[in-house]
Amino acid sequence: MNIVAIYGSPRRGGNSDVMLDVFLSSVQPTDTIIKIIPSELSFSQCRGCRVCEKTGVCVFDDEIKTVSNHLLQADRVIISAPIFFYGFPSALKALIDRSQVLWSRKYLLKEGMKLKKGFLLAVGATQGKKLFDGVILSSRFFFDGFHCKYQGEVVFRGFDKKAEIKNCLACLEEIQKAAQNFFYPENTIK
Ligand SMILES: Cc1cc2nc3c(=O)[nH]c(=O)nc-3n(C[C@H](O)[C@H](O)[C@H](O)COP(=O)(O)O)c2cc1C
């Protein structure tokens, strides 16, 4: 199984990194994990020129090209991110915008793509009722652009200090259960 794991925070070793590492800890050694850290990549922002709608190719030739290839070849894609102003941190959002080329290839140029499955992990500091609405929608539509079916999310409110989610054993257990179900549903006891 090809797994693409997107680390959405610019803070290394923070809550969303911990969550993704725990999520990935159930992966079997025979599976391949490709880690993508948007804040450490060098790429241009989508300029909305629409060239990709006609050509299926982005005008920018940068690190997003490799990311796009990984996404197309994946069987499972996971995003883990903190909430920044009720949305994704800017580098992750910029990466998502650049996936418009994949959306164009799928919907306008009618390219066939293999089916994948996607999952979201997210964490925020406050208790806002709608805290995760934005990132859930962004994830659904990002995934759909490369034929990746949204499978669900695990989200936590009230975590702010670096890596403090490690102290919430119930959270870590919930993440492990969700991962088992996402990667190996056939082994999950219902
Ligand atoms: C620029 C910025 C914006 C933030 N905006 C929100 C917000 O709108 N709502 C919220 O609950 N937390 C917000 N937070 C808090 C983070 O979501 C929280 O600290 C999270 O645990 C950080 O995860 P990380 O350690 O993976 O980076 C914000 C933090 C930063 C740095």
Q: Is the pLDDT of residue 144 over 70?
A: yes
User: Which token pair is 111?
Assistant: 């390219």
For the chain, the average pLDDT equals 97
Domain boundaries, the chain: 2-187
Identify whether the C-beta of residue 71 lies closer than 8 Å to the C-beta of residue 114.
Answer: no
Count Cβ atoms below 10 Å from residue 132 Cβ, excluding itself. 20
pLDDT score of 187 = 83
DSSP H helical segments within 62-168, as ranges? Answer: 64-73, 90-98, 100-103, 133-144
Pocket test for ligand 1, best of 7, 18, 84, 175 (most atoms within 8 A of CB): 84
CA 76, 82, 86, 88 torsion-angle sign: negative
Taking CB atoms within 8 Å and a gap of at least 24, the contacts of 48-52 are 52/100, 52/101, 52/104, 52/105
pLDDT score of 179 = 98
Cβ of 184 less than 6 Å from ligand 1 = no
Q: Cα–Cα distance between 36 and 38 in angstroms, integer?
A: 6
Q: Is the pLDDT of residue 31 over 80?
A: yes
Instruction: Give kind and range of the element (H or E) at residue 4.
Output: strand 2-7
Q: Cα–Cα distance between 37 and 156 in angstroms, integer?
A: 21
Domain 2-187 listed as CATH 1.20.1740.10 = no
Atom of ligand 1 minimally distant from the CA of 157:
11
